[in-house]
Amino acid sequence: MKVLVIGSVYPRFHEDAEVPWLRTSVAHLKQAGVEIQVLAPAYKGLKSHEIDGVKVNRFRYAPAGWEFLTHEEGAPSKMASKPWLQLLAIPYIISGFFKCIKICRRFRPDVIHAHWPFPHAYIALGAAKLFSIPLVLNFHGAELLLIRKKKWVKPLLKFAIGQAQAVFANSSFTAGRIKALRNVDVEWSPYGTTLESNGKVGEPAEPTQVPHPINGKFKILFVGRHIERKGICYLIEAAKYLPRDQFEIRIVGVGDLTEQLKALAQKTMADAPEAAEIIFTGKLSPEDLANEYKTANVFTLPAIVDSKGDTEGLGVVLIEAMELGLPIVASNVGGIPDVVVDGVSGILVPEKDPQTLANAYKRLATEPELLQQLLAGAQKRIAECFTWDKIVARQIDVYNKLKK
């Protein structure tokens, strides 16, 4: 079985932390016996290379100094701040289109698996038609969000879906959006943990292990980019309902909203001196991040549907926190309910509701039986749905059906 994977981003060097879930997926496919190559755009002149023994074919689409449309930040975000970058989309698609044909003529894959179907379905379609190769489209949610902002994308995506022999979605939420666009069968293909490929940030806790407050404080941990859809401002507001002598909120990461969120935290603590302390750690080394997980009592993702209509497609960070033995409190939005089953593998709360968030943290701090129940449920949920062996086995099953 030969598979060509197409994506807008792939690690540029061994230590690169870009799209760890895709890198891990490819590694597990290779381990399962699939002969696999990757097609991705160049970054500032980067030539084709190998990562983890997998050939990464890079296509050039502009002078080296201009090849930064992808990597380090999503292309839609870059184009929003620098509209002229949209002009690069044309050579991007054309260059990728011809590179894909060249690779398929030589490699002769049995399946083309294109992630982020807009625009990568159109990079894949020429080779798929020319060489009669089945096409699998894999949606992650962001490409569907484009329909809200750019109406002309809708017919292009609808057409592309009709050309595919199989469609994957990272969550039931994303699958629902695809079906609303075109009524096709959609395979659920989530992510597993990425801890194996990046080096574990800590050893998984036993399902029955209950974290104990350190220095008498119950530590609430958030890890992620500081962007609107993460809902960090509501976590900060929840501090007002949490006693300072019992709770501490730790916010890991950086982003466009970091300074604005710090200002909100300072105001919150000034207005409510008895509120839980809010600590911004910044970007951490793997060792320091490991320590945050080891000393936390709960992991939280207070995500929202943001002003652009964007939200969490799945929330792979939740899977990792669960695997590390932390109970979860998260918002009931997007693909999060695929991971967090309320009262079974974590606690779901309504979005944009600081008081309900705070009440959930208090429950975990005072109900050890519930905490134990959720930890056990989380381990079971991972074993049933989010192990790479099962995810990859389902993908290969689809590949084999298309190959026949």
Which domains are present in the chain? 2-192+387-403 (3.40.50.2000), 197-385 (3.40.50.2000)
**CA 393, CA 28: separation in Å to the nearest integer?**
10
Say if residue 24's pLDDT is above 60. Answer: yes
Tell me if 48 sits within 8 A of 55, measured CB to CB. Answer: yes
Local confidence band at 73 (pLDDT 50, 70, 90 cut-offs) = low
Angle at 152 between CA 149 and CA 153, to 5 degrees: 75
Say if residue 386's pLDDT is above 80. Answer: yes
Say if residue 31's pLDDT is above 50. Answer: yes
| pTM of the predicted model as reported, rounded to 2 decimal places | 0.86
Higher pLDDT, 211 or 20: 20
Residues in the chain: 404
Q: What local confidence, expressed as pLDDT, does residue 200 receive?
A: 40
Q: pLDDT tens across 100-134, in order?
A: 999 999 999 999 999 999 999 999 999 999 999 99
Q: Residue 342 carries which DSSP code?
A: B
Say if residue 241's pLDDT is above 70. Answer: yes
**CA 59, CA 77: separation in Å to the nearest integer?**
22
Say if residue 196's pLDDT is above 60. Answer: no
Residue matched to tokens 């086995």 = 393
Q: pLDDT tens across 258-298, in order?
A: 999 999 999 999 999 999 999 999 999 888 988 999 999 99
Say if residue 76's pLDDT is above 80. Answer: no
What kind and span of H or E run contains 280?
Answer: strand 277-282
Say if residue 79's pLDDT is above 70. Answer: no
Q: pLDDT tens across 244-258, in order?
A: 999 999 999 998 899
Q: What local confidence, expressed as pLDDT, does residue 192 receive?
A: 85
**CA 219, CA 242: separation in Å to the nearest integer?**
11
Higher pLDDT, 78 or 235: 235
Mean pLDDT of 94-98: 98
Q: What local confidence, expressed as pLDDT, does residue 204 receive?
A: 43
Q: Residue 125 carries which DSSP code?
A: H
Proportion of the chain above pLDDT 90, given as a percent: 76
Burial 10-27 (b: 16+ CB within 10 A, else e): bbbeeebebbbbbbbbbb
Q: pLDDT tens across 293-343, in order?
A: 999 999 999 999 988 778 888 888 999 899 899 999 999 999 999 999 999
Separation in Å, CA 237 to CA 143, 242, 265, 336, 368: 31, 10, 8, 21, 25
Residue 119: CB partners within 8 Å, gap ≥ 6?
Answer: 89, 92, 93, 96
Mean pLDDT of 185-196: 84
Local confidence band at 351 (pLDDT 50, 70, 90 cut-offs) = very high
Q: What local confidence, expressed as pLDDT, does residue 205 receive?
A: 42
Mean pLDDT of 17-44: 95
Say if residue 167's pLDDT is above 90. Answer: yes
Q: What local confidence, expressed as pLDDT, does residue 201 receive?
A: 36
Local confidence band at 84 (pLDDT 50, 70, 90 cut-offs) = confident
Mean pLDDT of 19-45: 95
Say if residue 208's pLDDT is above 60. Answer: no
Say if residue 32's pLDDT is above 70. Answer: yes
Of the candidate ranges 10-14, 140-144, 320-324, the one whose mean pLDDT is the lowest: 140-144
With H, G, I as helix, E, B as strand and everything else as coil, classify residue 133. Answer: coil
Q: What local confidence, expressed as pLDDT, does residue 349 receive?
A: 98
What kind and span of H or E run contains 359?
Answer: helix 354-366
Proportion of the chain above pLDDT 70, given as a percent: 92
Average pLDDT, the chain: 90
Tell me if 17 sits within 8 A of 126, measured CB to CB. Answer: no
Local confidence band at 202 (pLDDT 50, 70, 90 cut-offs) = very low
